[in-house]
Amino acid sequence: MSDKDHSTTMERILQEITTVSRRIEGMDASITSLTLETKSMRSDIAGFQSRVTGLEQRMGSLEEHATASQDRDQDLLYLRSKLTDMEDRSRRDNINLLGIPENEEGTDMQAFLSSTLSKLTSLDFDPPLELQRAHRVGPKRSDKSSSPRPIIACLLRHDQTRQILQAAHSHGPFRVDQHDI
């Protein structure tokens, strides 16, 4: 091998080394760029993990709230059924009287109804018929031609309420002073 060949070979080797060196520098730049991108991705992943953790906590809180809400709904349904039962029980001793003319009762509605119900039903109540309360329903009507307001009476004893209602069903409308009751 001659000096010329040797020099050409050396130039080629130097060129290849330069080319490889440039490639390595390019790879170093790529590696640096990838390292920065990886750091950025890690930061993004940490942010996503933080958001996911926050969402998991919020989801857990919502699930607890939903469970508590369902419990309250069940309690509310139970209380509504109890209230309905209590209202029904409080009304079972009531009787509704229709057709008694206005002011017929005078000043003592309970005494009037006690004597009138005994006469109408022909029942002998033992113990005597007692009313807890009695009143007309609704505002006083100024029109004399309109029908009289109904009377609601709450009896003290349920068996007396039942006897009066049975007598009314079996007898039909009662008549007092040409008025159907």
- The pLDDT assigned to 142 comes to 76
Report the C-alpha gap between 171 and 173 in whole angstroms: 7
Peptide bond into 148 cis (omega under 30): no
* 164 has pLDDT over 90: no
CA proximity to 125, closest of 79, 164, 85, 67: 164
pLDDT, tens digit (0-9, with 9 covering 90-100), for 30-84: 888 888 888 888 888 888 898 989 889 999 888 988 888 898 999 999 999 999 9
Residue position matching structure tokens 């991705």: 41
Residue position matching structure tokens 């009662």: 174
pTM for the whole structure: 0.56
Residue position matching structure tokens 């440039």: 22
Cα 41 from chain centroid?
47
> Predicted confidence band at 100 (pLDDT cuts at 50, 70, 90)?
confident
pLDDT, tens digit (0-9, with 9 covering 90-100), for 132-145: 999 999 888 777 76
Enter the DSSP assignment of 144: T
CA proximity to 130, closest of 166, 157, 109, 150: 157
- The pLDDT assigned to 76 comes to 93
Angle between helices 109-121 and 158-171 (to 10 degrees): 50
CB 90 within 8 A of CB 156: no
